[in-house]
Structure 1
Amino acid sequence: MTVIEQDAPPTASTSARRRLPLFLAGLVALVLCAALSLAVGARPVPLAAVYDALFGHAQGREALVVTGLRLPRTVVALAVGAALGVAGAVAQGITRNPLASPTTLGINAGAGFAVVVAIYVLHLNRPAEYVWFAFAGAAGAALFAQALARRSGDIDPVRLALGGTVLQLVLLSWTSAVMLASQRTLDEARFWLAGSLADRTLDVLWPVLPTLGLGLLLALTVAPALNALALGDDSAQALGVPVARIRLAGGIAVVLLAGSAVAVAGPVAFIGLAAPHLVRPLLGGDHRLLVPGCLIAGPLLLLSADILGRVVIRPSELEVGIVTAFLGAPLLALLARKAAR
């Protein structure tokens, strides 16, 4: 009886109170990063001028840059970062694989391939038109990756990581083939495929807000059950957890979140992989805290990468997808080596 009491996990309220200062620090860091996003760019704007522009105390070119260009871009980055961060946490939870993310499972590549095919066949030219094709591609890639990973009715985490990586490479090669077949498709899709927040307005975000919100709601709902899945399917079922339904709901959440993010900003890599690994050492492995933590860490990482892309080759800028890929590749190698041990 004593052992059971010592091993029992803390209640949600106890854990939340214990880690409340960390959540507050994360929120403060996110607010500061958002302020820098409004101030930093090819034309730097003082923070005092940013404040005046936001609250209508100033007009002119600087105010137009802040409210017309950087504010929508920052809001889009917050939404996309939250979607990718939470999607990564849920993907790792339902697969019991620390290397799982929308990128490594091929979900982002599937969404990107579907959008490029739609551009080629249907002559689409606006991100708002990509939404449903991104969802279809993300769902198809997720289902195929899980089919490759199934062994004796269960999902093998190693096979899932390998299958998702292979699927990603195949889909990326198919995407390149489609783009090379049409100069118009290449011109239309190449900047979007790099993963970019530049010139993203709120008109691009509105169509995906319902699906993004539903994905976040599903993720927060299944978060407590993901703790039981970490014990294995048999143990989770013995605790009364409906494993199949939780995994289905979590998979739908990942598809909705990743599809929404890809439709808006393109296939931005590694945010979904990095955010849970950044949060887990601080908040622990309890998904009741991990998923909300990634809701903060994802936007923080994406905004930081976007700001870095604006200043590294100023006055030009690097697409945020290029920055995250450059920084995330060593992280993936490090995590793979750690998992191999």
Structure 2
Amino acid sequence: MFHLSLFRPFFRLSKYLRASPAIGLALGAIALLICTIYSLTLGNTNISLETIFRSFTAFTSFADNDRFEPLIIQTVRLPRSLMAIAIGAALSVSGALMQGLTRNPLAETGILGIGAGGALAVVGTLFVFGNSSSVVYAGAALLGASIAAVAVYGLASCGAGGATPLNLTIAGAALTAFISSITTAILVLSQQTLEEIRFWLAGSLAGRDFDLFLQVLPLTILGLIMALLLGKQITTMSLGEEIATSLGQQTLGVKLLTVISVVLLTGSSVAIAGPIGFVGLVVPHGVRFFIKTDYRWILPYSAIFGALLLLTADIAARLLLKPQELPVGVMTAIIGAPMFVYLAKSKVRK
């Protein structure tokens, strides 16, 4: 009885949001705005809310010797928050797309090796060519993510029954281990490469290149737009490819567009902050507690709450060992690993 009474409000909220899903999006957007404002206050320098608001509304009113704090807000803290929002939305939407397309509850860019493929491409580029431009690293991440996605699907298709959820999970785990071993070997051989990229490999938002973020942001936006436009088709594909074909859907075209969207979202995220895992696993499953199967709502919900999750994880990473900070990828792993174990024991077995 205690257990049922504890969770009854969540069931009521779930029924209410299914009837009026736009309300949940609005509440998520409000929570995201509040967390963004709070994120702007965090740092070695304590900055008041009044200064934060004035730095955007009346920057010229500050005297020259008083513009240090507004500049911190505009050049350091706001860019970091914006990157967390964009990357969180991209990773969670890409995870939702993959889960809907493959009907695999464990489908996620980190688990299926797509993020690891992008990371290996960046590490390999740095090892072979040395320091290159940010655009080169972004292109390498996109190429590596694309190759990893094709490789995982090809390996899974070779198994008994084709690319089943279990085969995809096993193929992704095997490919991730293989790619990670190559990445580790490169870092062992080149101490210079390790020194330059080790914090990035853990998945971090600290000191990220905001110019690179602005350069790859169009790719992220394009990937998100493609994903949102595919909501109806992914809902049909989640019922099974045979059913989708019988309903007249061009499944090959939907698969191709979905893979392009996933690669754009994952590659741009890896290029900015490195491989950050489990966001695309945790958020879509949390969203489905309220929005069951309609990807026209699951995808925008995943974008909002994925951004909220990664921004919250970044805040926790800065607060937990203050004044030191953990990479945000460590925080998402702490959250996502138990979810992965639960799903592996329950849904994949079914």
Shift of 1:47: 2.0
Q: Aligned partners of 1:75, 1:287: CA distance in 2, in Å?
A: 25
Residue 302 in 1 paired to residue 310 in 2?
yes
* C-alpha distance in 2 between matches for 1:155 and 1:214: 27
Residue type at the aligned position of 1:51: F
Unaligned runs of 5+ in 2: 1-16
Q: TM-score, normalised by structure 1?
A: 0.92
**2:10 maps to what in 1?**
none
Alignment correspondent of 1:247: 255
Residues paired across the two proteins, number: 328
Alignment match, 2:9: none
Residue by residue over 1:110-167, the C-alpha shift from the partner in whole angstroms, topping out at 9 and shown as x without a partner, is 0000110000001025544311100111001000100111157852111001110111
| 2:264 counterpart of 1:256 | yes
Preserved CA contact (<8 Å) 1:268 1:321: yes
Cα distance in 1, alignment partners of residues 296 and 186 from structure 2 = 42
Cα displacement (A) at 1:290: 0.3
Instruction: Render the CA deviation track for 1:261-312: whole Å, top value 9, x for unaligned.
Output: 0001100111111110121112222100001111101110110000000010
Q: What residue is the counterpart of 2:46 in the other structure?
A: 44
CA distance in 1, matches of 2:160, 2:245: 17
**CA–CA separation in structure 2 for the residues paired with 1:302 and 1:98:** 20
**Letter paired with 1:37:** S
In structure 2, how many angstroms separate the alpha carbons of the residues matched to 1:244 and 1:153? Answer: 19
TM-score with structure 2 length normalisation? 0.89
Gaps of 5+ in 1: 1-14
Structure-1 separation of matches of 2:323 and 2:288:
37
Which deviates more from structure 2 when the two are superposed, residues 228-237 or residues 36-45?
Answer: 36-45
Q: Which residue of 2 aligns with 1:138?
A: 145
Q: Which moved more, 1:194-203 or 1:119-128?
A: 119-128
CA positional deviation for 1:228? 1.2
State the Cα distance separating 1:35 from its structure 2 match: 0.8
2:32 pairs with 1:30? yes
Aligned residue number for residue 102 of structure 2:
95
Q: Please, which of 176, 196, 211 is the counterpart of residue 204 of structure 2? A: 196
1:234 is aligned, of 237, 242, 251, to: 242
Q: Identity of paired residues, percent?
A: 40
**Aligned-partner Cα distance in 2 for 1:26–1:177:** 42
Among 103, 117, 129, which residue is 2:124 paired with?
A: 117
Secondary structure of 1:155's partner?
coil
Distance 1:205 1:136, change over 3 A: same
Which runs of structure 2 are paired with 1:271-290 in the superposition (5 Å)? 271-290=279-298
Cα distance in 2, alignment partners of residues 248 and 160 from structure 1 = 17
Aligned mates of 1:37, 1:108 — CA distance in 2: 26
Aligned-pair Cα RMSD in Å? 1.8
Q: Where does residue 78 of structure 2 map in the other structure?
A: 71
* Partners of 1:227 and 1:287 within 8 A in 2: yes
Task: Out of 43-52 and 216-225, give the one that drifted further.
Answer: 43-52
Shift of 1:332: 1.0
SS in 1 for 2:290: helix
